[in-house]
Copies of this chain bind each other. A is one copy, B any other.
């Protein structure tokens, strides 16, 4: 943990905050913090800053926080991801937050198994702490927005423009004869990157994506597991 993230509601008007549970223990035992010391803190979806430690006891750590003027810039990449199997999705949450993703849009696809949707890995109680863990690692405060869509066609035709109204859209595709994703790195603005299931998007899905503004970019000749592919492609873009 390189940054302690707090809910805005945990700070009072004078910037006082009181940590308890795992966070208090982390500050006390891992950071070895003592009264007077300053630690890096952040407000979820808000600014970062410093917290001066006022008091440490067995259960709590009390801080006075000084915050930056504004929140750090929002991530410029959003992800449209065909839902991988639960074990892989569980590993992805923290990594996606750490790499910096504004929005995570999870979708069904022909090659996604239906039972992947019946997992608690898709419940906010499960994924939110993992997202916060990734943000604390990467020192960011922006919690990715998450939405889950069981109907691919409805998502692409009716919902996606509302979720991701602006910017360019890319769909990563295997094969070496397409423009490399590295070439897509330049240019400001928001990018929505679509990554298919392990078996790939089918022809209907690719066609629908292209009809809705997605351009194909190559993800290279190697077939990667979804979690490796997500990290590799987001890194290549950012």
- Residue ranges of A at the interface with B (Cβ–Cβ < 8 Å): 2, 91, 94-95, 98-100, 137-140, 182, 185, 220, 222-225, 228, 231-236, 238
Contact = CB atoms under 8 A, between A and B. Distances in A.
Nearest to A94: B225
Contacts of A2: 223
A154 to B, nearest CB: 31
Copies per complex of this chain: 2
What's the dominant secondary structure at chain A's contact region? Answer: helix
Contacts of A182: 182, 185
A98 B220 contact: no
Contact of A222 (B98, B220, B228, B231): B98
Nearest to A221: B139
A234 B228 CA distance: 11
A138 B224 contact: yes
Contact of A137 (B99, B223, B236): B223
Nearest to A232: B235
